[in-house]
C-alpha cells in the first residue's frame, strides 16, 4: 500500500515533510540547500533537495540517491495554495514503511 508524502518550503526558513511516515516533520532551515532522504523497506532510496531561491520561491526536487539506486515512485510537482503559494510542492507516493531523515539539521546524524 502506498503512502502520500508532501514536501515543500514554508515561510523563509522552514521545510515541511508531511505524511504518515517515520521522520516526517517541520524542519527549521535557512542556509543554502536543505537535504533529506526517503528510504523504503525495499531499499529504494531518494534524495530530497529543497532550496530557497533569491526570488523568494522554494524549489523541491527528488533524485536517486546515487548511480545504482533507483526509485519507482510517482512524483508530482505543483504550486498548491493550501500548503504554500511560494513553493513547489513535491507529492510522492512511497511504499508503506518508508522513512524520512533530514541530512541538513545540526541535531541529525549525517551518515549518508
**Average pLDDT score over residue span 63-67:** 81
Contact present, 4 and 90 (Cβ < 8 Å): no
Q: Is the predicted pLDDT of residue 80 greater than 90, yes or no?
A: no
Task: State percent of the chain over pLDDT 90.
Answer: 54
How high does pLDDT run on average in the chain? 86
Query: How high is the pLDDT of residue 81?
Result: 61
Q: pLDDT higher for 86 or 92?
A: 92
Q: Side-chain half-sphere of 47: how many Cα atoms within 13 Å?
A: 14
More confident residue, 39 or 30: 39
Contacts of 16-21 spanning 24+ positions with Cβ under 8 A? 16/83, 16/84, 17/48, 17/100, 19/94, 19/100, 21/94, 21/98, 21/99, 21/100
Amino acid at each position: 500500500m502506498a503512502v502520500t508524502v508532501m514536501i515543500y518550503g514554508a515561510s523563509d526558513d522552514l521545510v515541511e515533510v508531511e505524511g504518515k511516515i517515520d521522520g516526517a516533520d517541520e524542519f527549521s532551515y535557512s542556509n543554502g540547500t536543505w537535504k533529506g532522504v526517503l528510504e523504503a523497506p525495499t531499499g529504494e532510496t531518494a534524495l530530497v533537495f529543497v532550496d530557497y531561491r533569491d526570488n523568494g520561491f522554494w524549489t523541491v526536487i527528488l533524485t536517486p540517491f546515487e548511480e545504482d539506486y533507483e526509485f519507482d515512485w510517482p512524483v508530482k510537482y505543483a504550486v498548491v495554495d493550501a500548503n504554500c503559494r511560494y513553493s513547489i510542492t513535491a507529492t510522492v507516493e512511497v511504499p508503506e514503511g518508508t522513512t524520512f531523515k533530514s541530512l541538513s539539521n545540526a541535531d541529525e546524524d549525517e551518515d549518508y
